[in-house]
Structure 1
Amino acid sequence: MSSLAAARADNFYYPPEWDPSQGGLNKFHGQHALRERARKIDQGILVIRFEMPFNIWCEGCESMIAKGVRFNAEKKQVGNYYSTKIWNFTMKSACCRHEIVIQTDPKNCEYVIIKGARRKVEEYDAVDAEILELPTDEERGKLVDPFYRLEHQEEDIKKKNEAEPVLVRLQRASDARHSDDYAINKALRARLRSQKKRVAEEEHASRKRGLGIRLLPGSAEDAAAASRVKFSSKFEENRKLKRALISTSSIFSVPSGSSSNVDKRLDLEAKRRKIKAARVSNLLAGGFKPSGWNRA
């Protein structure tokens, strides 16, 4: 069954009712070898895949169609330039279904837009683009003159002599750089190993500091920027004062109803707080830091 399906897919299957006198399979089935592409073959039109030769502007929606975009185009012959055929391509724009017609120009080895679009004009400087500028039609016509051609050749020779030392030096440097593939490969692999080792060390150091990202090594600019940062000293003073107030405050809450025993207890607690506050102030003045001071 699979071999039969493969034979039908490759168009090699001949049904039992076929007779060699009837011709090929396409004639027997009443169809063209190109199937749907040749639906207008009686009008001399063949559907092909056409690739846009340059950037154009669609006149239907004013959107740009880039060079290399492909279309299903109807191809037909519209004339001859001597023995070369002139082909016409008709296609629909994908953005607005506007009809675009492009034709070959064998005389100038170019494509010409007949209707539906206009060519995008792109100007550039050959020196900035670092490309060779081809001679114009006027210059090519002047080359017929032997004297002009001699002057042109002298300018080319002068440019060649000026550029030759630089080109030779670049060629030698390129040959020296790629002369030993094994040495180049060895140097690159050694550099990669050292880089991986350095990255692993930086990641390990960052993890020891409790960071989830890798810190880059410090530089002189980082040290200079850090030295210019100054923190306010009021923060330490406020922290010490809050700690001293917490140490001297009472842990008992004041009851709603007061009695003689409660008053005596409060007076005793107030005296103790005063004594303790005086001791703390003396210790702070002397520069002593009790245990747990930094945990405030």
Structure 2
Amino acid sequence: MAPDFSSRKPQCNNVVRVEMPFTTRCLSCSRSLARGLRFNAQKTHCGNYLTSPIYTFSFSCPTCSSPLAFATDPAHRSYRIVTGMVAFANKTTVEEVETLSLPNHSIYEVQEARDAMQQLEDEKEDKRKATEAKSRLEALVQRNEDTAGGGNDIERNRALRSVHREGRRERDALQEATRALGWDDDGGVKLLPASDEDTRRARAAMAVRARVTKVSPATALRKRMSGAASSSIFAPGVYDGGKKRSRGRT
């Protein structure tokens, strides 16, 4: 009887401990390998299904040492026999393990369909990028035209010099106003051009000042005191000295 190597401890990194996914029978010695039987197997990467790797597990029959192997089947959420054994009729199905059964398409058909969809997505992305680039180019052309302002170089030069001339006049006027107030140009205090906001705030401040200075607090106090002195503290019909004061009598 051949020794059982399945119970030995793995000696390399690609030897793993696995279980039989379904009950099989060895083709050489007809030994039954029950589902759930654990053994050491050589794990090998043999391909991919889309992005899922496909692994092959190779081992020897415990009785006759014949090479046996099975592999993962990502397309059907199951396993398939590679060599050396055959599965019994009670092989595990996708209904038993409560998984979804995928259509029986080959890897090449699925890959071709995926490539076609990817090509459509790439074409759509290229069109979107071309549209954005065209919009940016049109915006740049329009901005250049707006900056140029139309006309030839002589007219644009004349308009630019006129703008600079107006700015220089405004700066000279502000400097004259600063000197008129007695401020030194090198003192760090400079007048700014007048704006509508400055005018509105100045008018509001002047209105508040006029209301405050119109009647002083002392004048208002004197008016209140004089009014209190001229009025009587007794209302009509109030008893005076035990006798009721009658109206119209002296």
Q: Same fold (TM over 0.5)?
A: no
TM range, normalised to the smaller chain? 0.3 to 0.5
* CA radius of gyration, larger in: 2
Report the structure, 1 or 2, having the larger helix content: 1
Give the TM-score taking structure 1 as reference length.
0.28
Report the structure, 1 or 2, having the larger strand content: 2
**Higher RCO, 1 or 2 (CA under 8 Å, sep at least 6)?**
2
Give the TM-score taking structure 2 as reference length.
0.32
